[in-house]
Amino acid sequence: MKAVVLAAPGQIEVRTLPDPAPARDQVVVRVHACGICGSDLQLVDGTLAGAAYPFVPGHELAGEVVAVGADVADLRVGDRVAADPSLPCGTCAPCRRGAVNLCRRFGVIGASVDGGFAEYVALPARNAYVLPEQVSYAAGALLEPFACVVHGFQRLAPPAGSAFLVVGAGAIGLMLLELALRTAPAEVVAVERHAERRAVAERLGARAHATVAEALATRPEGFDCVVDATGVPAAVEEAFDTVAPGGRLLLFGVARASDRVRLAPYRIYRDEITVLGSMSVGHAFAPALELVAGGAFELERLVTHTVGLEGFAEAVELLRRGEALKTHVIPSLVDGSGAASAR
């Protein structure tokens, strides 16, 4: 099979690899679509912990089951599936109390083991969720980031009537905005420096500004729920300054492990501000699939570019420059570029 391989930080190759065979508890999936995530940029750069170079990246994937391990009873060849890429150990203290996303030996399909930027991928059967007929492969490949968003909202637990501010209107930020718009908000505001993304946020029903200062000028009392979807330390610090007394700040964007921010502890004390983190999917994959299958969210609208395996390196640079909202790698595309249906 053909696959994208990160041979080392900064070294992207397309190689021919042996076709995977399923272990007893695995299935092999022919990948129909796999999304490029912001964390994939960090894997390319070598700034995200837990990667086992060389490896095949790609954790936002959907496809068709083509082989089934001997012990797999609830999946069959031909099933259309999306993958939860989480690989918790199941035995550490967080796993034992059910917090599998906080596993001390947390692994990820597409980082610690080979992932979906390939024609085929082997994965544990328990990680594969059958897609209803009405859910396309494109939507299936967006279920993992959407499930992360659902988990983030479970952490945030926004009260009805909250005023929301989302900093960063990339694909994740737009999912956050759309979910916020469905929680009986007082208002929902986006901050995004790219005009095209601001326009998308406004089409969804949010107000949008180019800077945090502009957003705060429209609501000097601050926002009840503020979400940073950038992972940029300076943006986190600005977001903190917009939290209203008694409000909540959710750190959703993936920062580098070495990054640090400066927050005012007196203000956290005086205004009873809650600062939260949100890591991975938790137990939100099934609820996210239910929301999408029910027609509440049309995730495919976020896909702006599709490429073949040979176009991966170029697509990474498009994302890095902010010129792509969500790019899907379609392994069946031969020329490495151009548009294609992901269904």
With b for 16 or more beta-carbon neighbours within 10 A and e for fewer, the 288-327 pattern comes to: bbebbbeeebebbbbbbbbbbbbbbeebbebbeeeebbbb
Cβ neighbours, 10 Å, residue 77: 11
Q: What is the pLDDT of residue 174?
A: 98
**Parallel, antiparallel or unpaired: strands 26-35 and 326-329:** antiparallel
Q: Do 115 and 225 have their domain in common?
A: no
> Considering the domain boundaries, does residue 141 fall inside one?
no
- CATH code of residue 181: 3.40.50.720
- The per-residue pLDDT for range 272-283, each reduced to its tens digit, is 999 999 999 999
Write down which residue in 235, 250, 277 finishes a domain: 277
Q: What is the pLDDT of residue 50?
A: 80
Banded model confidence at residue 334, pLDDT cuts 50, 70, 90? confident
Banded model confidence at residue 338, pLDDT cuts 50, 70, 90? very low
Q: Do 248 and 164 have their domain in common?
A: yes
> Considering the domain boundaries, does residue 139 fall inside one?
no
Indicate if the pLDDT at residue 337 is higher than 60. Answer: no
Per-residue pLDDT averaged across 87-116, rounded?
97
- The per-residue pLDDT for range 221-275, each reduced to its tens digit, is 999 999 999 999 999 999 999 999 999 999 999 999 899 999 999 999 999 999 9
Per-residue pLDDT averaged across 286-296, rounded?
96
> Considering the domain boundaries, does residue 341 fall inside one?
no
Indicate if the pLDDT at residue 53 is higher than 60. Answer: yes
> Considering the domain boundaries, does residue 286 fall inside one?
no
Kindly report the CA angle at 70 between 55 and 281, in degrees rounded to 5? 50
Q: Report whether 5 contacts 55 (CB < 8 A).
A: yes
Strand positions, DSSP E, 21-59: 26-35
- Residue 160 DSSP code: T
Residue ranges in 165-277 assigned as alpha helix (H): 171-181, 195-204, 212-218, 233-240, 265-270
Length of the chain: 343
Q: What is the pLDDT of residue 335?
A: 57
Q: What is the pLDDT of residue 49?
A: 81
Q: Report whether 151 contacts 284 (CB < 8 A).
A: yes
> Considering the domain boundaries, does residue 54 fall inside one?
yes
Q: Do 103 and 176 have their domain in common?
A: no
> Considering the domain boundaries, does residue 285 fall inside one?
no
Indicate if the pLDDT at residue 342 is higher than 50. Answer: no
Q: Do 203 and 158 have their domain in common?
A: yes
Question: What is the C-alpha to C-alpha distance for residues 231 and 278, in angstroms, rounded to an integer?
Answer: 12
Per-residue pLDDT averaged across 64-77, rounded?
98
Q: Report whether 129 contacts 195 (CB < 8 A).
A: no
Q: By three-state DSSP, how is residue 165 classified?
A: strand
Q: Report whether 340 contacts 330 (CB < 8 A).
A: yes
Q: Report whether 52 contacts 112 (CB < 8 A).
A: yes
- The per-residue pLDDT for range 173-232, each reduced to its tens digit, is 999 999 999 999 999 999 999 999 999 999 999 999 999 999 999 999 999 999 999 999
Mean pLDDT of all residues belonging to the chain: 95
With b for 16 or more beta-carbon neighbours within 10 A and e for fewer, the 212-225 pattern comes to: beebbeebeebbbb
Q: At 186, list the tokens.
A: 């007082």
pLDDT exceeding 70 applies to what percent of the chain?
97
Provide the residue type at 321 as one letter: R
> Considering the domain boundaries, does residue 246 fall inside one?
yes
Question: What is the C-alpha to C-alpha distance for residues 16 and 309, in angstroms, rounded to an integer?
Answer: 11
Q: Do 20 and 129 have their domain in common?
A: yes
Banded model confidence at residue 341, pLDDT cuts 50, 70, 90? very low
Q: What is the pLDDT of residue 26?
A: 98
Query: For the chain, what is the largest distance between any 2 Cα atoms, rounded to a whole number of angstroms?
Result: 61
Q: Do 99 and 71 have their domain in common?
A: yes
**Domain tally for the chain?**
2
**pTM tops 0.85:** yes
Q: Do 129 and 152 have their domain in common?
A: no
Question: What is the C-alpha to C-alpha distance for residues 331 and 117, in angstroms, rounded to an integer?
Answer: 7
- CATH code of residue 88: 3.90.180.10
Q: Do 155 and 273 have their domain in common?
A: yes
Q: Do 205 and 317 have their domain in common?
A: no
Q: What are phi and psi of 4, to 5 degrees?
A: -80, 135
Q: Do 250 and 301 have their domain in common?
A: no
Q: Do 61 and 151 have their domain in common?
A: no
> Considering the domain boundaries, does residue 22 fall inside one?
yes
Residue 248: domain span: 147-277
Per-residue pLDDT averaged across 134-149, rounded?
98
Q: Do 155 and 232 have their domain in common?
A: yes
Handedness of CA 149, 155, 161, 164 (dihedral sign): negative
